Amino acid sequence: MRILTYIRQVLDAEESVHIANNSVALENSKLVMDTMDEYGVEEALRLRESGVDAEIVAVAVGPARVQNALRTALAMGVDRAIHVETDVRLDPVAVSKILAQIATQEGATLILSGGQQADWDSHALGAATAERLNWPQAAWTSALELKGTTLTGKHDADEGSESFTLELPAVITTQQGLNEPRYPTLPNIMKSKKKELRKESLDQFNVAPKLKFVSAEIQVKNRLNKIIDGKDVLAAAAQLVDLLRNEARVIA
């Protein structure tokens, strides 16, 4: 079988966000593979290590720099990578059109994608891709097994979690707790340099985004920052309770 894992390159969570020309400026910031996508790569590798005969292909859409994230996926153990190069920011519904076409071309039967994107905070890509392919999906998956063509697993629902079964082909979106992604080892990094990273142009996918990005701003809510020294425990406790009751009026 063939497994696709969708890879995104995002700002490292420890980096601060800068805005320039009405959008987030990523130049000069540390960029990494989205953690949610690391779970996807790791899960694909684990499925293979559990005895599933699978080729694993990493796919990314974005500017030239996203190849670094694909290289990381290759170094983790993915077999080859496909990069659809574009400098245009596409919304997830538009990206799903690309991913679905690649899945069809590649004859993939399982797609792994991040549950929530660390940059656009979107949940949509996995479901949108499943819809375009007319596949079922499991979102926010925290455990996964594959026997034959049957997936079993666990995922988070609105209230609590659910165990499920699902027949391939299917889309799975990831979630913290699914696994602990491995670090690429030096030999695997060396090996990955010889692996195929194929570039594709955006034109052939006939993508027409319907969403327009207008502006971005950092809105910082002004906080009161009334910080009490807690050395005198009783006085500090009394002062805090008094502030919450009589100034903020948030407790009775």
Partner 1 sequence: MILIVVEHASGKVSKSTWEMVTAARELGREDPITALVLGNNVAPIAAEIAHAVDQVLVADLPLLAQYDPELWSAAVAQIATEGEASVVLIGGSRSGREYSPRVAIKVDAPLLEDVISLKANGDKLTAQHYTFLARVTETIEATGPVAVVTIKPGVFNPATPRTEAAEQFDVDLTLPTPRFKVTGKTAERSARVSLTEADIVVSGGRGVGSAEGFTQYVEALADQLGAAVGATRAIVDAGWRPYSEQVGQTGKTVQPKLYIAIGISGAVQHLSGMNKSKTIVAINRDAEAPIFKIADYGIVGDVPQLLPAILAELKK
- The residues in 4-43 that bind partner 1, with binding defined as CB under 8 A, are 11, 13-14, 17, 19, 24, 36
# chain residues binding partner 1, by CB under 8 A = 80
* CA–CA separation, 102 and 61 (whole Å): 11
Q: Count Cα atoms within 13 angstroms, Cβ side, for 179.
A: 21
Q: How far is the CB of 230 from partner 1 (least distance, A)?
A: 2
Closest alpha carbon to 213 in 85, 91, 87, 128:
91
103 binds partner 1 (CB under 8 A): no
For residues 178 and 141, the answer to whether their CB atoms sit within 8 Å is yes
Interaction between residue 88 and partner 1 (CB under 8 A): no
Residue 45 CB, nearest distance to partner 1 (Å)? 21
**Contact string 202-241 vs partner 1 (x = CB under 8 A):** --------xxxxxxxxxx-x-xxxxxxxxx-xx-xxx-xx
Near partner 1 by CB under 8 A: residue from 67, 72, 96, 179: 96
- Specify which residues 67 forms β-bridges with: none
| Residue 127 binds partner 1, judged by CB under 8 A | yes
Site for partner 1 in 49-68 (CB under 8 A): none
Is position 130 an interface residue for partner 1 (rule: CB under 8 A)?
A: yes
Return the amino acid letter for 160: G
Instruction: For residues 15 and 23, give the distance between their C-alpha atoms in angstroms, rounded to a whole number.
Output: 16
**Interface mask (CB under 8 A) for partner 1, residues 176-195, using x and -?**
xx------------------
- DSSP H/E element including 44: helix 35-49
Read off φ and ψ for residue 134, nearest 5 degrees. 55, 45
